[in-house]
């Protein structure tokens, strides 16, 4: 079986979607019938690192749109049993390779219809749709009227890469966290995507005990606005911005936290919640986006209404009072083994 | 759903509470809770609690009230439903709480223990409750954000008396029956008695969306735990989210979520069905979220209107067929209306010009053996489909323009008065010129039954002057808009929620349904739903209603969406033989008839 994966970013990419795509690719190559997986990335922000066996990585496609088009056109001479398309915007290119490609949808990119009719029609006529969450699938189906086969494939968490651990003294010193209880959110701070809930957490901070501080881990162009807001509220000593941080520091960052909190509105899934829980940090997520599914409807963590400051404040208070770090029993639902089994079941179904 | 009562002899030297009074209060509320009743009096005789119960969640005796927690420190009486009680239970259990029943009442006790007064902010539902806390010797009293469930209080300086209805407090015999001209004036101005007034000086409504403690010094200052004005204000600042998801999808998700909560019940749930977008939309979405069998739907029809365009039954029947619901059209005749009228007035807790339709549709639903029904009320307030949403901004802006010119306002007043006399403008035009400068004034004129200048003739000069002064209706309306909701839509919606919906629509729905031991649930009147939709509503305004019609899959059919809005017409003029009163609806005559029934 030869598989083509057209995608935005994967190897060398940042963030949850790139990670999801890497896991998806890994699971595909581990299918017993897989001979080769050709991966065509549209973005390559960093060197791709080591490419796994069975994967042919067409890195030159990432240069620009024309290069991408040429790279895919060059593949038309080859035969593929399955074609996956990792973004609605890539559907016109995917159509060169298959009449009915399988579309992968993640989050806000699939929550409302694209502006042009072509992509709209191609989305409706996809061969199948794999969604990272029920909510993304439901929102995608709502505008596209897609009636074909659908699958929900939530993120995987590599549990062996995370663990409950002591606070790293260097990080405690760097961020001034000695004697403090720490709320943490990890994510991009982007002006166009003000949906992570940073503002909401900052706004409840004055009503929390003085030893509670808020660590915002991530970079982005909305950082200056958030800093101004923090200053205006007189919270400069209670909100700490890490800026961009090395990926390798991530588990240590989670282990600084007493509560992970993300009252978001725009998460396709909310992978960071899994990471926090894999470090034993109790998690608060939104009931109105994919976070609900990452917390398995409230079984793994606390769901809050992001529009309710009181709901958020009391949820934080409850979890701070518990002073308990443990990895929730149901977190292995998202283990890579389960992810791989789901991918293989989807592949078998698509080949039928 | 129940009726509750509480007595607290808080002052040193106050006589202990009397069991007979407690039982008389409880007995007056028997129709609200026919399944069980109980009273509790503290060992020192200073506190008494009473409840009648309509069992809907946890039908076992474990859910009976008053309910005491295992420590014996907390005792509660509770009227309403906590729709998110299962989530709260799970959350509390994770924190170590132990439960002995599956009732939502016990969740309230545990939540109070965990969070104190802040617990009300976690409640999704309709509620009015009193918790006696023996540890601190305080009583905690709270009422839901919209005021879906009623609660009245009388404080004579020694003892506080609380009940779900005014008539129950009176039945206890412990409160004065002196009439309050402010309540009566409010009734004539608006067609219902505005909170916190009642028609009795000794009795006040516990204001919607507030909570407070009563201790040895009496009732403390009420804290507002929810502000509709503030929700709209915040909504304006959250427009970024609106862009993420199409409006109809947001409406489907959020209203479906509200419905899912409102369907939580251990008994079957039916639905009121008219031909309007709100109730049909709710029935269509219920079909999509409900895991139960076919929904039971009920439509009301008056025999004199059969075949007339204001009769909604044929459209409702067609829609019900398409939804595969088990449908009943209940026809009401003049004879039935007249024979029900004495019981109707007896059940009416405070004077109101509305409630007839809810009385009969509730009666019809209860006849089918149902204890719970979903209603689409509140949809017009939520989606901005009343004429006030377009008229008020126009009035206020026009008055603002007139004000900019020297002598602009006197000229506008003179012109509108003259036009009104000549028949070129409505009878309210002079009042528009007088009061229309402010949002609250424009609203009260637009919605008014009588104008303030007419009250001396209706209720006597002295009573009218005293009543109007204490009522301070226009100031009251302006205070509702603090903080400023920041959008025209938010301002009108806030006023509609604070006056018509709270004092008339919801109050009438409560007494008229409770008289038939039916619990009416209102998925479109939900504080959490409003918070979620506020960004969308302030962004889209009155277009939201059409997005709501698009929200079910498939969208509502054209014969529902394109049907002219008629409102629900009751043939009162003929059936109640109302004399002419200068208005087309003769509601002023009806108002006088209603007040006569209260003696």
Q: For B304-337, how does the pLDDT look when each residue is reduced to its tens digit (9 = 90+)?
A: 888 787 788 999 999 999 999 999 999 999 999 9
A307 and B238: CB-CB below 8 Å?
A: yes
pLDDT digits (tens, 9 = 90+) for B242-254: 889 999 999 999 9
Tell me how close the Cα of A171 comes to any Cα of chain B, in angstroms.
Answer: 30
Cβ contacts (< 8 Å) between A318 and chain B: which residues?
91, 95, 114
Rounded to an integer, the average pLDDT of A59-74 is 96
DSSP secondary structure code for residue B348 in this structure: -
Given B87, B121, B246, which is nearest A310 (Cβ)?
B121
pLDDT digits (tens, 9 = 90+) for B336-395: 999 999 999 999 999 999 999 999 999 999 999 999 999 999 999 999 999 999 999 999
Establish if A107 touches chain B: CB-CB under 8 angstroms. Answer: no
Cβ contacts (< 8 Å) between B226 and chain A: which residues?
none
Given A111, A266, A314, which is nearest B115 (Cβ)?
A314
Cβ contacts (< 8 Å) between B244 and chain A: which residues?
108, 111-112, 195, 265-266
Rounded to an integer, the average pLDDT of A16-43 is 96
Interchain CB contacts (distance < 8 Å): A and B:
63
Tell me how close the Cα of B246 comes to any Cα of chain A, in angstroms.
Answer: 6
A57: helix, coil or strand? Answer: strand
Ordered structural domains, chain A, with CATH: 2-156+335-351 (3.40.50.2000), 159-333 (3.40.50.2000)
Candidate from A158-172, B51-65, B313-327, B425-439 with smallest mean pLDDT: B51-65
Do the two domains B2-226 and B229-384+495-569 of this chain adopt the same fold?
Answer: no
Instruction: Report residue B567's pLDDT band, with 50, 70 and 90 as the boundaries.
Output: low
Tell me how close the Cα of B1 comes to any Cα of chain A, in angstroms.
Answer: 25
Tell me how close the Cα of A301 comes to any Cα of chain B, in angstroms.
Answer: 9
Q: What is the mean pLDDT of chain B?
A: 93
Instruction: Report residue B566's pLDDT band, with 50, 70 and 90 as the boundaries.
Output: low
Cβ contacts (< 8 Å) between B533 and chain A: which residues?
none
The single residue listed with the structure tokens 């950082």 is A223
Establish if A187 touches chain B: CB-CB under 8 angstroms. Answer: no
Cβ contacts (< 8 Å) between A113 and chain B: which residues?
246
Check if the beta carbon of residue A264 is closer than 8 Å to that of residue A306. Answer: yes
A283 sits in which H/E element: strand A283-286
Rounded to an integer, the average pLDDT of B258-284 is 95
Query: Can you name the CATH fold of B2-226?
Result: 3.60.20
Provide the pairing of β-strand B138-143 with B125-133: antiparallel
**Spatial CA neighbour of B1 closest among B84, B78, B85:** B78
Rounded to an integer, the average pLDDT of A195-199 is 94
Residues 6+ apart with CB under 8 A from A76: A96, A97
pLDDT digits (tens, 9 = 90+) for B508-561: 999 999 999 999 999 999 999 999 999 999 999 999 999 999 999 999 999 999
pLDDT digits (tens, 9 = 90+) for A271-317: 999 999 999 999 999 999 999 999 999 999 999 999 999 999 999 99
In terms of CA atoms, which chain A residue is nearest residue B253? A288
Check if the beta carbon of residue A300 is closer than 8 Å to that of residue A328. Answer: yes
Cβ contacts (< 8 Å) between A285 and chain B: which residues?
none
B81 sits in which H/E element: strand B74-82
Cβ contacts (< 8 Å) between B122 and chain A: which residues?
310-311, 314
The pair phi, psi for residue B180, each rounded to 5°, is -110, 110
B528 and A305: CB-CB below 8 Å?
A: yes
pLDDT digits (tens, 9 = 90+) for A213-243: 999 999 999 999 999 999 999 999 999 999 9
Q: Beta-carbon neighbour count of residue B158 at 10 Å? A: 14
Cβ contacts (< 8 Å) between A277 and chain B: which residues?
none
Instruction: Report residue B426's pLDDT band, with 50, 70 and 90 as the boundaries.
Output: confident
- Enumerate chain B positions whose Cβ falls within 8 A of a Cβ in A: 87, 90-91, 94-95, 114-115, 118, 121-122, 225, 234, 238, 240-241, 244-246, 248-249, 252-253, 528, 531-532, 534, 553
What integer pLDDT is reported at residue B403 of this predicted model? 85
Given A108, A112, A322, which is nearest B95 (Cβ)?
A322
For chain B, which residues make up each domain, given as ranges?
2-226, 229-384+495-569, 388-488
d(CA B102, CA B58): 6
What integer pLDDT is reported at residue B131 of this predicted model? 98
Given B118, B240, B246, which is nearest A194 (Cβ)?
B240
Given B90, B240, B252, which is nearest A195 (Cβ)?
B240
Establish if A22 touches chain B: CB-CB under 8 angstroms. Answer: no
Rounded to an integer, the average pLDDT of A133-160 is 96
Decide: residue B596, CB within 10 A, 0-12 exposed, 13-18 middle, 19+ buried.
Answer: exposed
How much is the pTM? 0.95
What integer pLDDT is reported at residue B250 of this predicted model? 96
What integer pLDDT is reported at residue B345 of this predicted model? 97
Given A111, A308, A318, which is nearest B244 (Cβ)?
A111
d(CA A181, CA A322): 12
B249 and A266: CB-CB below 8 Å?
A: no
Q: What is the mean pLDDT of chain A?
A: 96
Q: Which of residues 132-171 of A touch B (CB under 8 A)?
A: 138-139, 142-143
Task: Give per-residue burial for B50-76: e unless 16+ CB within 10 Å, then b.
Answer: bbbbbbbbbeeeebbbbbbbeeeebbb
Provide, rounded to the nearest whole percent, the portion of chain B with pLDDT above 90.
81
What integer pLDDT is reported at residue B518 of this predicted model? 94
Provide, rounded to the nearest whole percent, the portion of chain A with pLDDT above 70.
100
Given B87, B90, B118, which is nearest A314 (Cβ)?
B118
A108 and B244: CB-CB below 8 Å?
A: yes
Positive or negative, the CA dihedral B508, B513, B517, B522 is negative
What integer pLDDT is reported at residue B57 of this predicted model? 73
Task: Give the CA distances from residue B470 to residues B194, B464, B474, in Å, rounded to whole numbers and listed in that order.
Answer: 12, 10, 11
Cβ contacts (< 8 Å) between B118 and chain A: which residues?
310, 314
Tell me how close the Cα of A230 comes to any Cα of chain B, in angstroms.
Answer: 17
Which of the listed CATH numbers 3.40.50.620, 2.60.40.2470, 1.10.580.10, 3.40.50.720 matches domain B229-384+495-569? 3.40.50.620
Positive or negative, the CA dihedral B106, B109, B111, B113 is negative
Instruction: Report residue B405's pLDDT band, with 50, 70 and 90 as the boundaries.
Output: confident
The edge-to-edge listing of strands for the beta sheet with A302-304 is: A239-243, A212-217, A181-186, A259-262, A283-286, A302-304
A260 sits in which H/E element: strand A259-262
pLDDT digits (tens, 9 = 90+) for B5-48: 999 999 999 999 999 999 999 999 998 888 889 999 999 999 99
B244 and A265: CB-CB below 8 Å?
A: yes
Establish if A326 touches chain B: CB-CB under 8 angstroms. Answer: no
Given A266, A305, A321, which is nearest B244 (Cβ)?
A266
Site from A306, A307, A315, A317 to mutate, B interface, most B CB atoms within 10 angstroms? A307
State the ipTM, two decimals: 0.93
Site from A189, A267, A310, A317 to mutate, B interface, most B CB atoms within 10 angstroms? A310
Tell me how close the Cα of A298 comes to any Cα of chain B, in angstroms.
Answer: 8
Tell me how close the Cα of B461 comes to any Cα of chain A, in angstroms.
Answer: 48
Taking CA B253 as the corner, what is the angle to CA B252 and CA B258, rounded to the nearest 5 degrees?
Answer: 95
Q: For residue A271, how many C-alpha atoms fall within 13 Å in the half-sphere facing its CB?
A: 23
């Amino acid at each position: 079986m030869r598989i083509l994966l057209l995608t935005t970013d994967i190897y060398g990419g940042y963030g949850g979607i790139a990670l999801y795509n890497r896991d998806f690719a890994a699971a595909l190559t581990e299918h017993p019938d897989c001979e080769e997986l050709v991966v065509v990335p549209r973005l390559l922000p960093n060197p791709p690192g080591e490419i796994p066996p069975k994967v042919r990585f067409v890195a030159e496609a990432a240069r620009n749109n024309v290069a991408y088009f040429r790279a895919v056109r060059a593949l038309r001479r080859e035969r593929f049993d399955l074609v996956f398309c990792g973004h609605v915007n890539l559907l016109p290119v995917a159509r060169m390779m298959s009449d009915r490609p399988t579309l992968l949808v993640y989050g806000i990119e699939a929550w409302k219809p694209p502006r042009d009719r072509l992509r709209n029609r191609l989305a409706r006529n996809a061969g199948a749709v794999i969604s990272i969450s029920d909510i993304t699938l439901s929102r995608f189906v709502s505008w596209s009227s897609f009636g074909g086969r659908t699958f929900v494939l939530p993120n995987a968490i590599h549990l062996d890469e995370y663990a409950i651990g002591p606070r790293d003294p260097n990080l405690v010193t760097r961020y001034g966290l000695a004697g403090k209880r720490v709320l943490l959110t990890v994510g991009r701070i982007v002006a166009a995507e003000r949906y992570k809930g940073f503002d909401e957490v900052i706004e409840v901070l004055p009503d929390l005990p003085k030893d509670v501080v808020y660590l915002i881990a991530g970079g982005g162009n909305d950082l200056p606005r958030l800093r101004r807001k923090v200053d205006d509220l007189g919270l400069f000593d209670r909100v700490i911005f890490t800026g961009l941080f090395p990926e390798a520091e991530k588990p240590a960052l989670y282990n600084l936290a007493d509560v992970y909190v993300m009252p978001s509105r725009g998460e396709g899934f909310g992978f960071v919640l899994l990471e926090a829980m894999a470090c034993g940090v109790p998690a608060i997520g939104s009931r109105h986006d994919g976070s609900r599914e990452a917390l398995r409807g409230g079984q793994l963590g606390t769901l809050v209404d992001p529009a309710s400051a009181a709901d958020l404040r009391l949820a934080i208070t409850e979890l701070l009072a518990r002073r308990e770090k443990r990895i929730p029993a149901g977190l292995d639902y998202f283990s890579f083994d389960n992810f791989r089994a789901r991918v293989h079941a989807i592949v078998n179904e698509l080949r039928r | 759903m129940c009726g509750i009562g509480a007595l607290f002899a808080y002052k040193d030297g106050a006589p202990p509470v009397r069991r007979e009074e407690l039982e008389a209060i409880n007995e007056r509320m028997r129709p609200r809770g026919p399944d069980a009743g109980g009273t509790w009096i503290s060992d020192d005789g200073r506190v008494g609690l009473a409840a009648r119960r309509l069992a809907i969640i946890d039908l076992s005796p474990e859910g009976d009230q008053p309910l005491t927690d295992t420590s014996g420190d907390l005792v509660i009486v509770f009227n309403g439903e906590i729709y998110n009680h299962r989530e709260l239970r799970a959350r509390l259990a994770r924190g170590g709480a132990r439960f002995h029943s599956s009732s939502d009442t016990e969740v309230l006790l545990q939540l109070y223990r965990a969070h104190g007064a802040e617990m009300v902010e976690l409640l999704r539902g309709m509620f009015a409750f009193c918790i006696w806390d023996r540890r601190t010797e305080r009583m905690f009293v709270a009422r839901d954000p919209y005021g879906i469930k009623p609660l009245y209080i009388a404080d004579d300086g020694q003892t506080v008396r609380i009940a779900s209805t005014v008539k129950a407090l009176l039945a206890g015999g412990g409160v004065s029956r002196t009439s309050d001209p402010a309540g009566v004036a409010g009734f004539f101005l608006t067609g219902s008695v505005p909170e916190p007034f009642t028609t009795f000086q000794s009795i006040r409504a516990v204001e919607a969306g507030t909570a407070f403690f009563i201790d040895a010094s009496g009732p403390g200052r009420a804290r507002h735990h929810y502000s509709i004005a503030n929700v709209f204000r915040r909504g304006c600042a959250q427009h970024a989210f609106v862009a993420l998801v199409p409006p109809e999808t947001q409406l489907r998700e959020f209203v479906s979520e509200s419905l899912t909560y409102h369907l939580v019940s251990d008994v079957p749930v039916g639905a009121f069905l008219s031909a309007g977008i709100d109730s049909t939309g709710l029935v269509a979405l219920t079909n999509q979220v409900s895991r139960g069998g076919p929904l039971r739907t009920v439509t009301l029809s008056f025999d004199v209107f059969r075949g007339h365009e204001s009769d909604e039954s044929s459209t409702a029947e067609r829609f019900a067929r398409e939804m595969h619901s088990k449908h009943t059209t209940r026809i009401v005749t003049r004879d039935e209306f007249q024979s029900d009228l004495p019981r109707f007035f007896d059940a009416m807790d405070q004077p109101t010009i509305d409630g007839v339709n809810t009385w009969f549709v509730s009666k019809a639903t209860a006849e089918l053996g149902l204890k719970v029904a979903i209603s689409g009320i509140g949809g017009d307030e939520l989606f901005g489909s009343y004429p006030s949403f377009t008229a008020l901004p126009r009035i206020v802006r026009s008055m603002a323009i007139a004000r900019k010119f020297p002598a602009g306002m006197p000229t506008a007043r003179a012109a509108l008065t003259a036009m009104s006399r000549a028949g070129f403008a409505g009878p309210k035009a002079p009042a528009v010129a007088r009061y229309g400068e402010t949002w609250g004034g424009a609203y009260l004129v637009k919605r008014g039954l009588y104008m303030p200048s007419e009250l001396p003739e209706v209720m006597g000069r002295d009573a009218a002057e005293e009543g109007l002064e204490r009522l301070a209706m226009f100031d009251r309306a302006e205070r509702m808009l603090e903080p400023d909701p920041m959008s025209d839509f938010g301002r009108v919606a806030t006023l509609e929620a604070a006056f018509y919906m709270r004092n008339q629509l919801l109050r009438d729905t409560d007494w008229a349904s409770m008289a038939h031991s039916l619990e009416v649930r209102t998925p479109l009147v939900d504080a959490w739903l409003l918070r979620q939709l506020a960004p969308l509503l302030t962004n889209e305004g009155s277009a939201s209603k059409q997005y709501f019609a698009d929200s079910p899959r498939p969208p509502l059919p054209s014969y529902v969406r394109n049907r002219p809005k008629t409102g629900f017409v009751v043939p009162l003029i003929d059936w109640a033989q109302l004399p002419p009163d200068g208005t087309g609806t003769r509601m002023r005559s009806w108002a006088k008839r209603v007040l006569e029934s209260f003696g």
